[in-house]
Amino acid sequence: MIEVENLTRVFRTYKKPPGFWAGVRGLFHREFEELAAAKDITFSIAEGEFVGFLGPNGAGKTTTLKMLAGLIHPTSGRARVAGFDPVRRENAYRRLFALVLGQKNQLWWDLPAQESFLLLRHIYGLSAAQYKETLDELVALLGVSGKLGTMVRELSLGERMKMELIAALLHRPKVLFLDEPTIGLDVVSQKAVRGFLRDYNRRHRTTILLTSHYMADIQELCDRVVVIDKGRKIYDGTLDRLESVGGKKRIVKFRPLTAPFPGLDTFAPFNPVTTEDGEIVLHVPSAEVVALTGRILAAGPVADISIADVPLEDIIADLFGRA
């Protein structure tokens, strides 16, 4: 459904030194610098896949989504979405996908959401029956039937995002690009949006490419992730495989009953960190966990001890560091 081959986008920006005279000189002689927001990115996504697209701020995630949507033209490389070239922005292609940007609105701010929905119905040429069927389904799934007549500016952030999703899905796109759809939402709203996206993907086999800084979004929705850093792809594979990288280590936490804990210096190879509440945290190779917990219990009295997997965000942060 989505094919990306050596996709590159270079931005050329004016580099202005500080000061008045530097500004005057800039009128006659300008210095520019080039920044590659995406560098030779290659991946493919099959129909119905729900793929996480990860990377730190400035990695090039949003730029890549905008190139796939045809809003930005690539400097080099090619992309195909359902057989279409996004650069050409054909009407048939624009009816096939939807782009939701978590920090930008497509709904009219001073009108009820249902008015924007009616406008979108005419833009996409939907019949009255098709429009009503789709709208009723989406409204029921997201639980916002009582908010359709409320001005968009008076909705909560979570309610606005639900309306944005309805607006994006009214024409039943085959491909959905989501850029930080849960940013700023409270825990309850995040859970509701995740549940809706998971159910919608399963019902309609919509191909979804999701960017998010919330690892809970990725873990609950995506079986596969593509990770980029500084414009380059550094990982493409299953989420299980990515988590298995962190599976080589475990986090051991214990709370000693006496301070300082006897023989703490002997645990130096495991980079011990003492938290503000006195808990000691160790990063331990999986093969050594059993032996180490025995050493801890033998060294001195502890109130509790726990063993946990390395969080996914720590694994990805480690990938960024190595990249």
CATH number (domain holding residue 294): 3.30.70
| Per-residue model confidence (pLDDT) at position 286 | 80
Structural domain count of the chain: 2
Same-domain check for residues 188 and 264: no
| Per-residue model confidence (pLDDT) at position 24 | 78
| Per-residue model confidence (pLDDT) at position 49 | 94
Among the three residues 180, 209, 243, which one is the final residue of a domain in this structure? 243
Instruction: Let me know: does 297 contact 289? Beta carbons within 8 Å.
Output: no
Among the three residues 216, 243, 270, which one is the final residue of a domain in this structure? 243
| Per-residue model confidence (pLDDT) at position 58 | 78
Residue 46: burial class (beta carbons within 10 Å; 0-12, 13-18, 19+): exposed
Instruction: Let me know: does 142 contact 71? Beta carbons within 8 Å.
Output: no
Same-domain check for residues 197 and 111: yes
Same-domain check for residues 168 and 287: no
Residue whose structure tokens are 């701020």: 57
pLDDT tens digits for 244-279? 665 577 889 998 888 788 888 888 888 888 888 888
Same-domain check for residues 239 and 252: no
Instruction: Let me know: does 314 contact 246? Beta carbons within 8 Å.
Output: yes
**Distance between CA atoms of residues 232 and 10, nearest Å:** 13
Tell me which residue of 60, 90, 96, 102 sits closest to 77, measured CA to CA: 60
User: Which domain does 282 fall in, by range?
Assistant: 247-322
| Per-residue model confidence (pLDDT) at position 103 | 76
Same-domain check for residues 225 and 268: no
Instruction: Let me know: does 74 contact 87? Beta carbons within 8 Å.
Output: yes
Which tokens go with 35? Answer: 């920044």
pLDDT tens digits for 73-95? 999 999 999 999 999 999 999 99
| Per-residue model confidence (pLDDT) at position 136 | 93
**Distance between CA atoms of residues 174 and 171, nearest Å:** 9
Over the chain (323 residues), what is each successive 10-residue block's mean pLDDT? Answer: 92 80 78 84 93 85 92 92 92 92 84 92 92 92 88 89 92 92 84 91 93 85 88 84 69 86 84 85 85 87 84 71 59
Largest separation between any pair of C-alpha atoms in the chain: 75
Same-domain check for residues 186 and 283: no
Same-domain check for residues 223 and 277: no
Instruction: Let me know: does 163 contact 107? Beta carbons within 8 Å.
Output: yes
Instruction: Let me know: does 282 contact 318? Beta carbons within 8 Å.
Output: no
Tell me which residue of 249, 248, 198 sits closest to 223, measured CA to CA: 198
| Per-residue model confidence (pLDDT) at position 85 | 94
Instruction: Let me know: does 289 contact 234? Beta carbons within 8 Å.
Output: no
| Per-residue model confidence (pLDDT) at position 59 | 80
* Per-residue CA distances from 144 to 168, 192, 231 (Å): 15, 11, 38
